[in-house]
Amino acid sequence: MQCKVIRPFNLNGVVRMPGQIVEMDFAQAGRMRRMGLVGQAVTPPAEYTVAPEPERAVKKPAERRRRKAKKEQKAENDVADLGDPSGD
């Protein structure tokens, strides 16, 4: 059982400081808890899964088309802003 240390104490020749998490059996944890040295049992954090890199990196086709169309539209607007190149 994993417990969080509340007050400093010596466990098997090693000084345990507040905030550390110690592994001990159920009976020993009960004794330490009654003395006020450790708190309740600590549950390990849940594991999070991360999607594989290629799956996360690829954008949706519709989003790519929208961005491409917007970029082309902006380029056309920039050319139109230059005016008539013949000088009339």
Please state whether the predicted TM-score (pTM) of the whole model is above 0.85: no
Is there a contact between 22 and 33 (Cβ–Cβ < 8 Å)? no
Distance between CA atoms of residues 71 and 88, nearest Å: 29
Write out the chain's pLDDT in tens, 88 residues. Answer: 888 999 999 988 889 999 899 998 989 999 989 999 998 888 777 777 776 666 555 566 677 777 777 878 777 777 666 665 565 5
Q: How many CB atoms lie within 10 A of CB 65?
A: 11
